[in-house]
Structures are given as structure tokens and as C-alpha cells.
Amino acid sequence: MPDVISTVAAPAAWQAVDFVSDLHLHADDPRTAAAFLRYLRDTPADAVFLLGDIFEVWIGDDAAQPGSFEAGIGQALKQAGRSASLYFMHGNRDFLLGAAFTAEAHLTLLDDPAVFEWHDRRWLLSHGDALCLADVDYQRFRSEVRSAAWQSAFLARPIDERRAIARGLRAESGARQAAVTVYADADPAMVDAWLDASRAEVLIHGHTHRPTDHTLPGGRQRVVLSDWDMTASPPRAEVLRLTADGTRRRLPIT
């Protein structure tokens, strides 16, 4: 965690704020993409926090060419940004999403972690992958690909080569997940340390695909967001909504 944690202070006029993560949007899953587009069109929230892995893979902002799937999602975000404030935090799948796309889609980029202040309360926001310390192989990979040198070298490759590399990494990830029976979860000691450092009472994160509310020692909480997959049985898609009166609800998206 950085020495100084960035903070988003909500305007007093906000009445509802939404949190989503792990949509894993891609062109081969039009049902999940359509559900997200309906959600963006219909949400009454004053702000939407997209906490990572909005896309299944992101190989660089130049992939969002006119007419592409990525550009279509960007246009929907831009439209939604006319009535709500949109925030984006990198996930483990879309960490290469850059300034060109965020500007075009009217997204405000968040550090991971970041603090959200609203009605005299502090929520700590994270994608969650940095907390899963038991996944040693992933943490080693994460350290490599988050470096400026790796990213610069990768983005310098031709776009078709980047697509091929991304397909290979996705295949490796799928094989690794298929071989694992118990997935790593957020490290309790690190969660406590982050909450202490941020002076927050609630941590909201995604990544683990284990949506639930955990009560921690001392009454603090860890709230895990749902992943989205409208092709699953039953379909999975959920929004966490905070309202001005303090209500917290999980809203299923259909």
C-alpha cells in the first residue's frame, strides 16, 4: 500500500453510488455485454465505481478502433458519463487500459487501493488481486507485468502479436484455474493492515468471485463483489449499491 492513499470525496448531493467488478466483457459473450449496457442505461446512481476486470483482456488502447467491441463499450460508458460520475480501477485482466481510453470513455482512473468518503464514512476500494498473497505464482506474474519496462515492451509489439500473446496467457490462466480446487482469498493480515492504514471500516473489492459480506474482528467488514456471467446457470451479475440513508443492497442484474 502506498504511503499516501488517494481519496474520492463524494459531493453531498449524491444519493446513490454503485460498485461493480469482474464483468470480463469480451465480444464472444454478447449476453453479459448486453446486460452491462442495460445497466449503464438504467442505473439511477450518481456515481459508478468499476473496480477492475471490466474487460476479459486489454492489449492496449489502440485495440478500441472504430467499430470494435471495445470502442462500443467505450461509447456506452461515455453516454453513461453524461448523467453519472464514472470511476475505473485496473484489474488483473485490464491493467493495460490507459489514458486514451479513459479520456474517451469519460472514466476517472483510481489508484489501487483508494478511499471513498461519503457521509462521514470511509470505504476502502480495491480490485483485490494484490491481497491474495497465497497465490504466489500470480503475485510473481503481477509484479512483472505491472512494471513500466514490461508494459512498454509489450505495447511496442504489433497489435496482432499482442492478441496472440493475450490468447496464450488466457489459455495458461484457464488451465491453471482448472487444476486448482481451492482458490486463494484475501490475506486476513493484509486486509487488517490496509484498513488500519486507510482508517476505513469497510473494504470493498472483487477479483475472488466469492460475493459475500465478511464481518472482521472489531466489527469492520470486507464486502466482496460479484463477477458477471450471463451464460452461467444461473446467470451471475450483481451491483452493490450504497444509498444516502446508509442502506447497502446487492442488486441482481437480469
Containing H/E element for 8?
Answer: strand 7-9
CA dihedral defined by 188, 200, 19, 7, rounded to 10 degrees? -120
CB 107 within 8 A of CB 87: yes
User: 168 falls in which pLDDT band (50, 70, 90)?
Assistant: confident
Percent of the chain with pLDDT over 70: 96
Amino acid at residue number 251: L
How confident is the model at residue 211, as a pLDDT? 95
* Burial status of residue 206 (CB atoms within 10 A of its CB: 0-12, 13-18, 19 or more): buried
Residue 176's pLDDT band (boundaries 50, 70, 90)?
A: low
Helix crossing, 148-155 with 159-178: angle to 10°?
120
Q: 126, 51 in Cβ contact below 8 A?
A: yes
φ/ψ of 149, rounded to 5, equals: -65, -45
Please choose, from the candidates 38, 111, 25, the residue with its C-alpha nearest in 3D space to the C-alpha of residue 71. Answer: 25
Question: Is 175's pLDDT higher than 80?
Answer: no
For the chain, what is the mean pLDDT? 94
Query: What pTM was computed for the model?
Result: 0.95
pLDDT for position 113: 97
User: Hey, what's the cell of 239?
Assistant: 451491483
- pLDDT value of residue 4: 75
In this structure, what DSSP letter does residue 130 have? G
* Residue-level pLDDT at 183: 72
The backbone torsions φ and ψ at residue 122, rounded to the nearest 5 degrees and listed phi first, read -120, 125
Q: Reply yes or no on domain 7-252 having CATH 3.30.420.130.
A: no
CB–CB of 53/32 below 8 Å? no
Beta-carbon contacts of 112 under 8 Å, excluding residues fewer than 6 positions away, are 52, 89, 90, 125, 126, 127, 130
Tabulate helix, strand, coil % of the chain (nearest 5). 35, 25, 40
Residues 59-117: tens digit of each pLDDT? 999 999 999 999 999 999 999 999 999 999 999 999 999 999 999 999 999 999 999 99
